[in-house]
Amino acid sequence: MDLLSALSLGELALSFSRVPLFPVFDLSYFIVSILYLKYEPGAVELSRRHPMASWLCAMLHCFGSYILADLLLGEPLIDCFGNNSSILLASAVWYLVFFCPLDLFYKCVCFLPVKLIFVAMKEVVRVRKIAVGIHHAHHHYHHGWFVMIATGWVKGSGVALMSNFEQLLRGVWKPETNEILHMSFPTKASLYGAVLFTLQQTRWLPLSKASLIFVFTLFMVSCKVFLTATHSHSSPFDVLEGYVCPVLFGMAWGGDHHHDNHGPHSVTAFWRAHRIPAAAPARNLSIYIISSLKLHLDCERISSHVETRSFDQHFLSTCAPLYAGCCEATSWPEQLTAPCGQEGCSLC
């Protein structure tokens, strides 16, 4: 009986949500965070020549989420530095990662199976931080949906959202990019997680907080471990965003770096090449509604026609119906109006 009740999902989630994070999970968080710092170009030389700057960067990597959340909520930025044991633990990890004799610590920690365990434990901390951040924001702003989401987001994303300034500390300045423009998987996942936890906190999601922590942790751990193991930079949200963003915003959210590599046949390149006015994607929402009626009839016909010219599949599902529906328009792209040369083509 006892065993069974302990195995029930609710009990498991509850006891999981009560596991203390310090010191084991926090240690993993610090190790993985400082590992990512060491991967940055120039970080090793920086640690030799400017240990103080390197240590400060390491602290930002470990406690960036607290600093940003404190800034947003008007609390002392230095609050997290009041916790001596955490700072000392993070400092010890920093010293071992950068200055351990024979680089032994780094080599052990970078060994893939070991690293995957640490990465998994880091995600446990991340999810817990999001939940705590939203609880904290809810305490100050009872109906502040946006405040809760923002606080949860920065608690989950950590140093990534302030990477420009962390780089500046190291003497590096890359203004042309930032984490908001090119969101990585953890940043996006933290945002979606913050939305979910906010829904839970305001009772719109019929789930206990412990269960949500458990489920979201499982999702984050499996995703991050898979991505780390395969050295992949893709994201499981790409598919969902590929459907939603073109409808809402006329183009896939943050998906540009994938599409840009597709050569002249990608959606972006297509739009550029044909000088479709910038407002065009904005029409997608209305097009979507209108075309959903026609889609059933037209879609297959166009597909077979255009596929032979290797257009982006993406473009087909969202924009082609528009062109199918306005055959007489003068803005009809050349590539589509030119006869394809196939016999029996219903469009030529």
Which one of residues 16, 192, 219, 253 is an interface residue with a copy of itself (CB under 8 A)? 253
Calpha distance 74→161 (Å, rounded): 18
Which one of residues 150, 213, 319, 324 is an interface residue with a copy of itself (CB under 8 A)? 150
Helix (H, G, I), strand (E, B) or coil at 340: coil
Which one of residues 41, 278, 296, 344 is an interface residue with a copy of itself (CB under 8 A)? 278
Smallest gap, in angstroms, from Cβ of residue 318 to a copy of itself?
Answer: 13
Measured from the CB atom, the residue of 259 and 305 that comes closer to a copy of itself is 259
Calpha distance 298→318 (Å, rounded): 12
Decide if residue 276 touches a copy of itself (CB under 8 A): no
Do 190 and 125 contact (CB within 8 A), yes or no?
Answer: no
Binding window for a copy of itself (CB under 8 A); candidates: 108-116, 167-175, 218-226, 311-319? 167-175
Which one of residues 12, 14, 21, 169 is an interface residue with a copy of itself (CB under 8 A)? 169
Measured from the CB atom, the residue of 42 and 263 that comes closer to a copy of itself is 42
Decide if residue 256 touches a copy of itself (CB under 8 A): yes
Which one of residues 73, 127, 199, 213 is an interface residue with a copy of itself (CB under 8 A)? 73
Note the maximum CA span of the chain.
Answer: 77
Contacts (CB under 8 A) with a copy of itself, residues 127-146: 140-141, 143-146
Do 140 and 241 contact (CB within 8 A), yes or no?
Answer: no
Decide if residue 180 touches a copy of itself (CB under 8 A): yes
Measured from the CB atom, the residue of 15 and 286 that comes closer to a copy of itself is 286
Tokens of 315: 């473009």
Tokens of 52: 């103080």
State which H helix or E strand residue 10 sits in: helix 9-16
Measured from the CB atom, the residue of 176 and 343 that comes closer to a copy of itself is 176
Contacts (CB under 8 A) with a copy of itself, residues 5-44: 44
Do 54 and 61 contact (CB within 8 A), yes or no?
Answer: no
Smallest gap, in angstroms, from Cβ of residue 61 to a copy of itself?
Answer: 15
Calpha distance 138→273 (Å, rounded): 48
Reported as half-sphere exposure (CB side, CA atoms, 13 A), residue 64 has a value of 26
Calpha distance 194→205 (Å, rounded): 13
Calpha distance 214→10 (Å, rounded): 9
Decide if residue 77 touches a copy of itself (CB under 8 A): yes
Smallest gap, in angstroms, from Cβ of residue 305 to a copy of itself?
Answer: 26
